[in-house]
Amino acid sequence: MADGTALNAHMVSFRGLSDGLEHLALTFDPIADTPLVRVHSECLTGDVFGSARCDCGPQLTESLKMLSVSGGILLYLRQEGRGIGLYNKLDAYSVQDRLGLDTFAANRHLNFSDDLRDYRAAAQMLRVLGTSQVCLLSNNPDKTEQLRRYGIDVVDQVPTGAFLNECNLRYLRAKVELHGHRIEITQEIA
């Protein structure tokens, strides 16, 4: 709410979706006709352990704060490591460190695509929750495009903050330069 009071949250679990994985939704009352929605891919290293290599943890924290005040939906998708899984993501970290590659090049080095995530399950979850029109809280244009392709009307794409640090500068630049993420990198890290 406008006064900073936290809203009630409800957890909904999903299985039997198109990707065969288990996913969660956190809904925060009130759910508007066009709710603010964060589609967040699981990141154990960032979300749980606070890794500075990515911006996942800060994006999740920011989203939860926004949704708990204004209402909306957080979809937590089990798509670790851009869809390559936890162990392969850790291998990609090692490749990045050894060969000086960005996250996308490391995935390709391990014979994966840049990003294997598919957001059909997110669209299915939104429809089950009675939502077909959203304001998407994301910097990733691919999420917007895929949700639209799967029948969700993305009315607006609201960017998250830019959570820049000395460990993730190259990662964030790669997201902007190679995949068109809407992140404003306005400063250099000393």
Catalytic annotation, residues = 115, 117
Which residues are within 8 A (CB) of 98 and not within 5 positions of it... i.e. 6 or more apart? none
User: Residue 6 gets which letter from DSSP?
Assistant: P
Phi, psi of 185 (to 5 degrees): -100, 95
Rounded Cα distance between 27 and 37, Å, is 9
* Residue indicated by tokens 């490591």: 81
> How do beta strands 23-28 and 36-41 pair?
unpaired
Residue 14 β-bridge partners: 23
Asked if 38 and 137 count as a contact pair (C-beta separation under 8 A), the reply is yes
- If we measure between CA atoms, which residue out of 70, 79, 69, 63 comes closest to residue 24? 79
